[in-house]
C-alpha cells in the first residue's frame, strides 16, 4: 500500500503487478488466488491485474533449507494523463 500510494502521488497509475515467491515450504500456489485478491484489494487493482508465481530454490542455500522466503515483484505503471 505504501509503494502504491507513492506511485500514485508521483502522478503514475498502477497497471499490473507480477510477483514471484521463492520458498520450499509452505506450498504457495494453493493460496495463490487468496494472495492475489489480498494484494489487489490493498493496492486498488482488479484481481485480474495481479499475478503470483511460485518456485523453490531446489534445496540450495538458506531458502532451500526452508530458513526463509524470498519475494520479487514487478509493477507496470503509466503516467497519469
pLDDT in tens, the chain (81 residues): 999 999 999 999 999 999 999 999 888 899 999 999 999 999 999 999 999 999 998 888 888 888 899 999 999 999 988
pTM assigned to the model = 0.85
SS3 assignment, position 47: helix
Residue 43's pLDDT is what?
Answer: 96
pLDDT at residue number 60: 86
Distance (Å) of CA 49 to CA 2, 28, 56, 57, 61:
18, 19, 24, 26, 32
Look up residue 2 and give its DSSP letter: H
Amino acid at each position: 500500500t505504501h509503494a502504491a500510494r507513492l506511485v500514485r502521488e508521483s502522478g503514475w497509475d498502477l497497471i499490473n503487478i507480477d510477483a514471484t515467491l521463492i520458498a520450499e515450504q509452505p506450498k504457495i500456489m494453493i493460496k495463490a488466488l487468496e494472495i492475489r485478491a489480498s494484494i489487489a484489494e490493498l493496492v486498488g487493482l482488479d484481481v485480474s491485474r495481479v499475478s503470483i508465481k511460485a518456485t523453490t530454490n531446489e534445496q540450495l542455500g538458506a531458502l532451500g533449507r526452508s530458513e526463509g522466503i524470498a519475494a520479487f515483484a514487478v509493477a507496470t505503471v503509466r503516467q497519469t494523463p
